[in-house]
Amino acid sequence: MHGILSLLPQPYYKKIESLWDELESQFGIKGIRVTPFPHFSWQIGERYDLPAVELVLSTVARQTKPFKVTTTGIGVFSGAQPVIFIPVVKSPQLVQFHQQVWKALMNTGQGINQYYNPQNWVPHISLAYMDVTQQNMGGIMQYLAFQSFNWEFEVNNFVYINEPDGLIGEIKFKLEFSG
C-alpha cells in the first residue's frame, strides 16, 4: 500500500516515536515500524501515478494555509488485526479539507482503500497494528489509558509514502502548505 499523509510536527512526532519505543520494549509491539513516520493519513491505495499525485498535491498545498487539529483519547479498530490509535477530532474544517483532497486525488490511484473515503474516514495516529493480539491488547490499553492524548498541533504538509508489500515505507516527496 501507498499513501498520502501529513507528518506530525514536533514535539508530537518525537512523542509518538517514544511511545512506539515504549510499546515495543514493554509489549513486543513493532508492526507499526512498517510505516516509521508519525502521521495521519488522507488516502491509501495500492497504486498511484506518482507524477500526477505530486502535481495535484502541490497545487492543493500552494492554496492551503496550515491549520490546527486536535486529538483526544485512545481508539481501536476491531477485527482480525486490531489497530490501536489516537483519534484526530473531525472538525468541520478538517472534514471539508479531506473532501477537497479526496476529490482532487480521484483519478490518480488504483485500489483506493474505501476506509479513507469521506463517508468512512476516521482520522487517526496509529500506535500499534499487525501484532496486536488478544494476549497483549489488555496490557497495551491499560498502559495507554492513563496517559493524556489531548493535543493540538498544526497540519502543514503532505507526504507521499511508498510502501511496497513487506517492505518498510519510504517518503517519496514532502510538500509544505504555503497558501
Torsion angle of C-alpha atoms 36, 39, 43, 49, degrees rounded to 10: -50
* pLDDT score of 3: 93
Residues 45, 101, 90, 31, CA torsion sign: positive
* pLDDT score of 164: 78
* pLDDT score of 55: 97
The pTM assigned to this predicted structure is 0.94
What distance in Å separates the CA atoms of residue 122 and residue 62, rounded to the nearest whole number?
25
Write down all domains in the chain, each with its CATH number in brackets. Answer: 2-176 (3.90.1140.10)
* pLDDT score of 179: 84
Q: What is the pLDDT along the chain (179 residues), one digit of tens a residue?
A: 899 999 999 999 999 999 999 999 999 999 888 889 999 999 999 999 999 999 999 999 999 999 999 999 999 999 999 999 999 999 999 999 999 999 999 899 999 999 999 999 999 999 999 999 999 999 999 999 999 999 999 999 999 999 877 678 899 999 999 98
